[in-house]
A = this chain, B = another copy of it.
Amino acid sequence: MNPGLRSGELAEAAGVNLQTLRYYERRGLLAEPRRSPGGHRLYPAEALTLLRVIKTAQRLGFTLDEVAELVDLGTHRHGRRADTSLQRRAATKLTEIETKIADLQAIASSLRAALDAGCDDLATCATSACCPIPLAALDRGEPTR
C-alpha cells in the first residue's frame, strides 16, 4: 500500500493552501488522515477528489456547512434503507439547487437579451425605471434572511 499524499502535495494538487487543509479538517470537511510515524499527515488519493468537489460546490454559493452536508449525503454510508432524515435533507437540498438553477437561468436570459439587443433596444426604456427590469424577472420578493 502506497504511502499516500503528503499535505503539501495534496494542497498543491488541489490548488488550495496548506493551511486550508487543516482548516477543513478542523471544520470536519476532511477526515483526519492517517499519520506518518513522525506525525505528518498522509492522505489517500480520494482526498483530492473530495477537495475538488468542495471547491466546486463552494463556487456555486454553498457555505462550508452546506458543503459538509452535501458531502455527507453523498458519502455517508446512510445505513441500508437509510433513515429518511437523510433522504429528506437531500430532497431539500435538491429543491434549493433547482431554485438556484432557475434563478441563474433568469439572469442568463436577461443578459442574453441585453447582449443581442446590443443595448440599443434597451436604451429605449433607459430613461428611468426600466433597466433593472430584465433582472427583476427573478425578483421573488422573499424577505431574504
Contacts and interface: CB of A to CB of B under 8 A. Distances in A.
B61 A135 contact: no
Interface in A104-123: 104-105, 107-108, 110-112, 114-115, 118-120, 123
Contacts of A94: 108, 111-112, 115
A14 B16 CA distance: 37
Q: Is the interface of A mostly helix, strand, loop or mixed?
A: helix
A80 B126 CA distance: 11
Copies in the complex: 2
Interface residues of A, number: 68
Interface of A: 14-16, 44-46, 49-50, 52-53, 55-57, 59-61, 70-71, 73-78, 80-82, 86-87, 90-91, 93-94, 97-98, 100-101, 103-105, 107-108, 110-112, 114-115, 118-120, 123, 126, 128-129, 131-136, 138-145
